[in-house]
Amino acid sequence: MEKKLSVLLVEDDEKECNLIAQYIDELDDVSLVGTTDNSEQGIEYVKDFLPEAIILDLELHQGGGDGLTFLKELRYLNLRVKPYVLVTTNNSSMVTYQCARRLGADFIMAKQQADYSAKNVVEFLRMMKETIQAKAARESPHGTTESPEQKTKRIIRRISLELDHVGISPKAVGYQYLIDAIQLVIKKPSTNLCSIIGAKYGKTDSSVERAMQNAINRAWHTADINDLLQYYTARVNSEKGVPTITEFIFYYANKIKNEY
């Protein structure tokens, strides 16, 4: 299966974030690994998720920091491969553009241009996808691939971010069970997840199943409906009103596995 282009979004306009996230979710070849309105948090996400491309807004008034600071900090990271940086901005200063390019921006899109849209931002990266991934393959230093332990930690952080998006609390009993279950399905689909997880924690199959479903139910009854619609786009049975354990686990396993 074709490897998805992993994208990090650093943007403080909530409407823009939603439009980009919704469009990417409709695609089979692009995955949004994280969204933040803060440049410092963006750097942490780069270290955690190693995105292949970054959509970077220069003005982060509603969040924190700014895009130029992000670019400066990005240069100091010891990354195996530098991500492709697509800057989007309301700024029209040529001096600012020159500074952004000097700090490492690969392309700049002005938000004032006539054909600017969230869709066109993503489509530009799709057009560049083959080039970005081929360049990454060439530049990845021989012998510096992640260890299995590093990869596992990164996948766990990725799953945790997704659970946080839909309001599943780390304090919930089923939280760790869901992380383990999604990991297991990413590695190899299995029909006896509750048995495997129960054996690991010394719990019965039924208690594991109950804890996971309770965590999902609580999130669907308490989380912001807009967050649920944005971050969980699979169909939910209208009679039940919440995903089943299997639906939930396989949705996120399928969403994440092609990124790694």
Q: What is the pLDDT of residue 249?
A: 96
Domain end position, chosen among 139, 162, 192: 139
Rounded to whole angstroms, the Cα distance separating 146 from 27 reads 27
Confidence at 120, pLDDT banded by 50, 70, 90: very high
Residues 68 and 97 occupy one common structural domain? yes
Residues 15 and 134 occupy one common structural domain? yes
pLDDT in tens, 222-241: 998 888 888 888 888 888 89
Structure tokens at 211: 């804890």
Domain end position, chosen among 116, 139, 162: 139
pLDDT in tens, 47-86: 888 899 999 999 998 888 999 999 999 999 888 889 999 9
SS (H, E, C) the chain: CCCCEEEEEECCCHHHHHHHHHHHHCCCCEEEEEEECEHHHHHHHHHHHCCCEEEEECECCCCECEHHHHHHHHHHCCCCCCCEEEEEECCCCHHHHHHHHHCCCCEEEECCCCCCCHHHHHHHHHHHHHHHHHHHHHHCCCCCCCCHHHHHHHHHHHHHHHHHHCCCCCCCCHHHHHHHHHHHHHHCCCCCHHHHHHHHHCCCHHHHHHHHHHHHHHHHHHCCHHHHHHHCCCCCCCCCCCCCHHHHHHHHHHHHHCCC
Q: What is the pLDDT of residue 245?
A: 95
Residues 131 and 39 occupy one common structural domain? yes
Number of folded domains that form the chain: 2
Residues 26 and 111 occupy one common structural domain? yes
